[in-house]
């Protein structure tokens, strides 16, 4: 029985080490699901916008505060439960949904 409990705890901790997800609602009406994927010393985020099938993957870039992900055309900068999404030069404030 102890072995089963230990395995279940290990599987749970490993799955959370692979990715974490959150859903955000932005001030401009955008709804986006973010899946944060840690890899080595840097990670990435996969953003899926409501009504679109194709996700966008942004690499983590240097940030003095919070988590910042960018690819040159889009930026997603998170701090706590808030984020700033910038696409095509236009930015909007976002908050996680409960």
40 falls within a domain:
yes
The token duo for 87 is 């696409």
Per the structure, the complete domain to which residue 81 belongs is given by: 18-96
Show pLDDT as tens, one digit a residue, over the chain (98 residues): 443 333 333 333 344 457 899 999 999 999 999 999 987 667 999 999 999 989 999 999 998 888 999 998 999 999 999 999 999 899 999 999 86
11 occurs within a structural domain: no
Within a domain: 4: no
- With a CB cutoff of 8 Å and minimum separation 6, the contacts of 38 are 17, 18, 19
CATH number at residue 48: 2.40.128.200
Q: Has residue 8 been placed in a domain?
A: no
Domains: count for the chain: 1
Residue 1 lies in a domain: no
Task: Indicate whether 71 belongs to any domain.
Answer: yes
Angle (CA) 7-8-12 rounded to 5° is: 115
């Amino acid at each position: 029985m102890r072995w089963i409990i230990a395995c279940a705890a290990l599987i749970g901790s490993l799955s959370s080490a692979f990715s974490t997800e959150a859903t955000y609602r932005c001030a401009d009406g955008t709804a986006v699901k973010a899946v944060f994927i840690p890899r080595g010393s840097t990670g990435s985020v996969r953003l899926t916008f409501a009504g679109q099938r194709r996700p966008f993957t942004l690499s983590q870039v240097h940030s003095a505060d919070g988590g910042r992900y960018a690819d040159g055309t889009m930026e997603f900068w998170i701090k706590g439960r808030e984020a700033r999404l910038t696409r095509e030069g236009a930015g909007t404030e976002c908050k996680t949904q409960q």
